[in-house]
Structure 1
Amino acid sequence: MTGIYEKTSSICIAAWVTGVGLLGCGPAPESDVEDTAGVSQQALTEGAPLTTHDASCLRLQDQNTWSTYASYMTPVGPAVGLPGVLADLNRVGPMLTSSNRPSAVGYKGGFRWNDGDMATSDWIPQALTAGVSGSTNVAIASWHYGAASPDKGVRLSVADISDMSSSAVNYRHVLMVRPTSSGNFTTVPIHGGGLAWFGNYLYMADTSQGMRVFDLTQIRQVDTSTTCDTQIGKVGSVWCAYGYKFVLPQVSAYVVPSTITSPCRPKFSFLGKDTRGTTDVVLSGEYCNSSDAQCPYDGSTPGLGGRLYRWPLDSATNRLKTVNGAVTPERAYIMNEPNVQGVAPIMTTTATTSYWLSSTRYSGALFKVSTGASRTAYLSGSSQWARMPEGMHATGSGTNLWTVTEGYNGSTSPASGGRVVFYVDQAAVD
């Protein structure tokens, strides 16, 4: 997850379309978040506790294409939903073994992708989320397209993880698409660095804009003839998706208004799911490093100013809670950690001030962070965590912490950096 963020002053200068006076964005004391207009940047220290951040200048606007996009996809069919994909899994991912797995504290199990997916340079794993469809436990991973034009955007791997004691996990790739007109669609050419699954909706990070939302009930089957290998959308009398059998269509998006600028305007590098509080939230965060992806609040310590946001969810609809079409974060933090690629809530506590962060710092690390203590680090260099970890998912029972890895130096060996999906005992890293 990379990007360049313009460094500007530490005072939030944005105004928003509601006309409401907006406070400054900056670090704020835990007990005094609302009285921090014009706060200057504070010094940042790697590994320090989470710093409460004033995000009162920030809004997301619902693009409200829910019904329009759904109607655009009506001619495309048939609609099979997630159950249709789970009934037609066509790839086999062997289980990891004691001699062929990454080292990780509390390791319990995992799988690798098939040989072609382990070796391809066209697609790169990024995000992970999980949930239940009927009686099937499902993991969903996103892959970013890294090859030359045309940009095929983002694909998902839908994997049946119901029986992790078997010899392999079955999975299938699904192409993500955006409807463009009645009976037509195109790819979603973004990084796809974060996923969060609530009900029938799959939220995906859109780095520079916000979050896109996809409807799992609207997964549709398309043509797989050779005609479609290089085509997208309506082609003659059929619908194509670069050879993929199923497409998952976007239904809406929550975007940062163009009037909100840096330093208030964040990046959406990764997402997470938190169900610990009275209100479920979508977590979003910023990837920052010390070179090409510095963030607005880095100050004199580039790479540490990445922010973590909590976006409240309406439990009745599984959409973000909006007022006049806008949603505001219920809380925000500066992470004081570099190269963060994923987040998961620490489910063994009801407190919403503690998290696990997945980082490619030190070639791979898991950080346990909170507002009340310095981090606890599990490092790949000390055989405590996998190399190049990306998105994460913590099971609501407080049992397992899942993660997906991007791959390290082109290795196809799971034990030495090859792409894997694995899970550990949450208590072991708590």
Structure 2
Amino acid sequence: MKHRGRHRRRKQGRALRGFLAGTALALTAAATMISASQATVGDDPGALEPLTSVDETRALGLREHLVPRATLDELASRMGEPVGVRTVLESADRSLRTASGCTAGERAALPVAPTATRAYCWDAADTRAWRAGAVTTSGDADDDGWWNDNRVILSGWSQGRADHGFARVAFVDANDLNRLRYASALLVVPVDGGRDYRALPSRLSGMVWYQDKLLVTAADGLYVYDMNRVQRATVDSAAVGRVEGGWSAHGQRFVLPAVGSYRLTGADTAPRLGAVSLDRSTAPDSLVASEWTPVDSDRRARLWRYDFSKDPVRPGLLATDAAGSAPAVEAYETEASGIGGVLSRRATGAERSDWYLGRAPGTTDRQGSLWRQDTEGAEATRCGSEDAPRCWGVRAGPLSYWEATGEVWSQSGRMLFAVPLTSIDRALG
């Protein structure tokens, strides 16, 4: 997909980066009261251990399953012509408050160090029954940071149990970073040949918007959504699917029907998929993933990556072989537990990638921690007089790198925030 106004937007991007450099948010009173003495020194996860044998990486493979085009067309014929991202943004009528308008309790969820340069809190009435999850942006979708003429942040939310609940995505209009507004779409799966749909019950822990596809974590793999196939709901009710008088989406005005899925093939040895993110520093671009393990677990977690397809007829999909399998092209083990966010970046000229891991607080901690690991060791962002590593958000969430601005976006509790990657690197001790 071509994007208009690229030169104009690059000038805006340079202005934005200049603005970013001088707009660091002050820590709130609640956050500064959290001293280093209240944070325990988390276990150092040490160096990454490469997994190189076929037996070790086989469990990380994915099998692709695409929804038949006829099924998607049948659903569209019944629901009406699909709409795009712009239509969803134009309907945005919910607002996020900037940090100054958030309560002290909300701001206390932010990192202590490095401090957020942008921070917002969600509409409490709209999110009260929902649990915040993954974040991705138009900075993932396109390397210039724009989707057509819009800057967009996508935030995933879950409600209910993992096997019986709902998942939705908030489409945030980020064209004016001082006035974020959003509307939401329910994530669904077509059934009955496209004559109906059901809710996706997965708890969202990872999400990547790449080209025109949105990849979302599920219990045993990933679901794939086409950003050009957003459908309008026509009935406002708690039901999901076809109802008397039209189509309902559990109170949301839009639905995103899945166009495919990737399932882990390792059976009993497959990991529980946790966070995912995009890495543009590899060739081709790649999807990186982390294994979810309980906080304070002594079981080693796995980190790995998949290549994205370079085939122009498969935009946004993973590279697969003739059998439809996507192998893990790189994999490691780490002693880190409770990983809630993962990033991988390789500096120009570097021989290896740095892996950034956002970890949930231990049982005796309030703040989470943020570590950078490679095959030689690990180091954490540190703060306070004791130089302790528990400095990250209270609820360690996703990490999404917006390359055009150099920002890492994340979410902690009901706070959406951004931190420059350079600030994270400077805070690593």
TM-score (norm 1): 0.76
Equivalence map 1:259-270=2 (5 Å): 260-263=266-269, 265-270=270-275
Instruction: Tell me which residue corresponds to 1:400.
Output: 407
- Residues 145-202 of structure 1 show CA distances to partners (whole Å, capped at 9, x for unaligned) of 13799x44201111112222x2x31011211000002231010011121101101100
- Of 203, 222, 233, which aligns to 2:241? 233
Following the alignment from structure 1 to structure 2, what is the Cα–Cα distance between the partners of residues 216 and 251?
10
Following the alignment from structure 2 to structure 1, what is the Cα–Cα distance between the partners of residues 155 and 295?
27
- Residues 12-63 of structure 1 show CA distances to partners (whole Å, capped at 9, x for unaligned) of xxxxxxxxxxxxxxxxxxxxxxxxxxxxxxxxx7420221123432321111
- Of 282, 300, 319, which aligns to 1:321? 319
Q: How many residues align?
A: 352
Moved more, 172-181 or 394-403: 394-403
Instruction: Tell me which residue corresponds to 1:356.
Output: 356
Instruction: Tell me which residue corresponds to 1:127.
Output: 134
Following the alignment from structure 2 to structure 1, what is the Cα–Cα distance between the partners of residues 247 and 113?
44
Instruction: Tell me which residue corresponds to 2:157.
Output: 143
* Distance change in 2, residues 1:195/1:339 (3 Å): same
SS in 2 for 1:135: coil
Equivalence map 1:12-411=2 (5 Å): 46-54=44-52, 55-58=56-59, 59-74=61-76, 75-97=78-100, 101=107, 102=110, 103-117=112-126, 120=128, 122-131=129-138, 132-146=146-160, 151-164=164-177, 166=178, 168-181=179-192, 182-207=194-219, 209-225=220-236, 229-257=237-265, 260-263=266-269, 265-289=270-294, 302-303=298-299, 305-315=300-310, 316=312, 317-324=315-322, 325-346=324-345, 349=348, 351=350, 353-361=353-361, 362=365, 363-378=367-382, 384-397=391-404, 399-405=406-412, 407=413
Following the alignment from structure 1 to structure 2, what is the Cα–Cα distance between the partners of residues 270 and 402?
14
* Distance change in 2, residues 1:233/1:388 (3 Å): same
Q: Are the counterparts in 1 of residues 51 and 57 from structure 2 also a CA contact under 8 Å?
A: no
SS in 2 for 1:390: coil
Q: Are the counterparts in 2 of residues 348 and 427 from structure 1 also a CA contact under 8 Å?
A: no
SS in 1 for 2:85: helix
Shift of 1:277: 1.1
Following the alignment from structure 2 to structure 1, what is the Cα–Cα distance between the partners of residues 222 and 71?
16
For structure 2, which runs of at least 5 residues remain unmatched after alignment? 1-42, 139-145
| Higher-helix-fraction structure | 2
- Residues 110-144 of structure 1 show CA distances to partners (whole Å, capped at 9, x for unaligned) of 211013145x1x21001111113212111111111
Shift of 1:235: 1.1
RMSD (Å), alpha carbons:
2.5
* Distance change in 2, residues 1:272/1:313 (3 Å): same
Shift of 1:372: 2.6
Following the alignment from structure 1 to structure 2, what is the Cα–Cα distance between the partners of residues 66 and 391?
31
Following the alignment from structure 2 to structure 1, what is the Cα–Cα distance between the partners of residues 155 and 275?
12
Segments of 4+ in structure 1 off by > 6 A? 379-383
- Residues 351-393 of structure 1 show CA distances to partners (whole Å, capped at 9, x for unaligned) of 5521211111344122122223322234798783221021110
Following the alignment from structure 2 to structure 1, what is the Cα–Cα distance between the partners of residues 196 and 390?
48
Q: Are the counterparts in 2 of residues 379 and 385 from structure 1 also a CA contact under 8 Å?
A: no
Shift of 1:283: 1.2
Instruction: Tell me which residue corresponds to 1:6.
Output: none
Moved more, 126-135 or 360-369: 360-369
SS in 2 for 1:374: strand
Shift of 1:98: 9.7
Moved more, 188-197 or 71-80: 71-80
Moved more, 396-405 or 274-283: 396-405
SS in 2 for 1:133: coil
- Structure 1 vs Structure 2: percent identity of aligned residues? 20
Q: Are the counterparts in 2 of residues 137 and 161 from structure 1 also a CA contact under 8 Å?
A: yes
For structure 1, which runs of at least 5 residues remain unmatched after alignment? 1-44, 295-301, 408-418
Instruction: Tell me which residue corresponds to 1:21.
Output: none
Q: Are the counterparts in 2 of residues 69 and 250 from structure 1 also a CA contact under 8 Å?
A: no
* Distance change in 2, residues 1:336/1:112 (3 Å): same
Following the alignment from structure 2 to structure 1, what is the Cα–Cα distance between the partners of residues 90 and 64?
33
Q: Are the counterparts in 2 of residues 48 and 336 from structure 1 also a CA contact under 8 Å?
A: yes
**One-letter amino acid matched to 1:342:** G
Q: Are the counterparts in 2 of residues 108 and 425 from structure 1 also a CA contact under 8 Å?
A: yes
- Residues 283-317 of structure 1 show CA distances to partners (whole Å, capped at 9, x for unaligned) of 111111267xx6xxxxxxx24x1111101101332
Following the alignment from structure 1 to structure 2, what is the Cα–Cα distance between the partners of residues 90 and 386?
28
Following the alignment from structure 2 to structure 1, what is the Cα–Cα distance between the partners of residues 349 and 167?
34
